[in-house]
Amino acid sequence: MAHKGYAVLAGLCLALSGCGTTNTVLRGDEVTRRNLKEWKTYCDSVPRVYSGVSYGLCILHGPSPTVSQDIAASALLPLRLLDFVPSAIADTVVLPYTIYRQSTEGSITLAR
């Protein structure tokens, strides 16, 4: 019965286009770079191990959008906070893969 809960959380994470793990593991590095540039993050790189959680932290590590700048970004910020739990679970599931990629390719650099 407990495995159904994990499957639901993993499915929910994958269904959310903003899921950090989806953006960093299942999509290309260029998507991660583009998304984090759009959020104007101050991060220079994202490690591949627990990259979904790191991605979420990078989104939070940037200038706070003002109402005049971007109402949509302000509205989505609480959803980013909710993404940490499913991202942490999904990151744990894909840990062997991300450890391998970290050792062979290194972190995802966000060239400015």
Q: What is the mean pLDDT of residues 16-27?
A: 81
pLDDT tens profile 33-78: 998 998 889 999 999 999 999 999 998 887 765 544 555 556 666 6
* Of the listed ranges 3-12, 13-22, 51-60, 84-93, the one predicted with least confidence: 3-12
By CB neighbour count within 10 A (0-12 exposed, 13-18 middle, 19+ buried), where does 79 fall?
exposed
pTM of the model: 0.73
15 has pLDDT over 60: no
3 has pLDDT over 90: no
DSSP label of 27: S
User: What pLDDT shows up at residue 68?
Assistant: 47
End-to-end CA distance of the chain: 46
Q: SS3 string of 75-97?
A: HHHHHHHHCHHHHHHHHHHCHHH
| Domain regions of the chain by residue span | 2-109
